Copies of this chain bind each other. A is one copy, B any other.
Amino acid sequence: MTTPDKPGLRERKKQRTRTAISDAAIDLFLDRGFAHVSVAEIAHAAEVSKRTLFAYFPTKEDLVVHRMADHEQEAARVVRARPAHTTPLTALRDYFLDGLRRRDPITGLNDHPAVRSLTELIYGTPALIDRMQRFKAGGERALAEALCDTTEASDLTARLAAVQIIGVQWALSADNFQRLVQGETADGRYEGAVRDAEHAFDLLANGLAALT
């Protein structure tokens, strides 16, 4: 996938323009809120025409959420790359726990100001949440395929499992992040986050039957 051949002036400039636009956008959004900044303003701040902005990002929302696009296929990759004799659920649990250890922003357990304020922006903007949901759905599809390809599960079973797993991961992340908003630190929250994640994956593995 990587093409380290010749970056080429053109490609380098494109990459710089892209980040310049996104950075300008996020700066303005953080400052005044998503709705109160127009794309024209962003284009001006990035010293680019409005038309060019939309050549790089299909929508205003994507100016923010494009950074999460890489993570969309993550769960699917983890399942496909798991060692033999390892169950998908175990692989995903270990990966999530490792994410907590690394304070991976996607686990909701990163309280660096830049990460935090960006997450706050997303959670506080319905339009951005909608876009995130689309990534979530894409992640579900990818994981379902991975489960289908690497296990004996039926197509439907794979989809059901994928929906449950991705849903639970997002719920865990949202919970962690909400606690940071309420004042906990990432380090202070870490142990609880681990316990909760283990509990959640236990529920996934053993079911909700205990729920009365």
Contact = CB atoms under 8 A, between A and B. Distances in A.
Interface of A: 87-89, 126, 129-130, 133-134, 137, 147, 151-153, 156-157, 159-161, 163-165, 167-168, 170-172, 175, 196, 199-200, 203-209, 211-212
Contact of A171 (B88, B159, B211): B159
A129 B200 CA distance: 28
A184 to B, nearest CB: 14
B163 A203 contact: no
Nearest to A136: B133
> Which 6 pairs show the lowest CB-CB distances between chains A and B?
A207-B207, A163-B167, A206-B207, A133-B133, A205-B209, A164-B164
A171 to B, nearest CB: 5
A205 B203 contact: no
B137 A196 contact: no
11 contacts: A89-B208, A89-B211, A126-B134, A130-B130, A133-B133, A151-B212, A160-B168, A160-B203, A163-B171, A165-B208, A204-B207
A122 B212 CA distance: 35
Given A137-B133, A199-B157, A164 B208 contact: yes
Contacts of A170: 163
A211 B168 contact: no
Given A133-B130, A133-B133, A167-B167, A211 B159 contact: no
Contacts of A134: 126, 130, 133
A126 B138 CA distance: 13
A163 B159 contact: no
Query: By CB atoms of chain B within 10 A, which of A130, A160, A208 has the most?
Result: A208
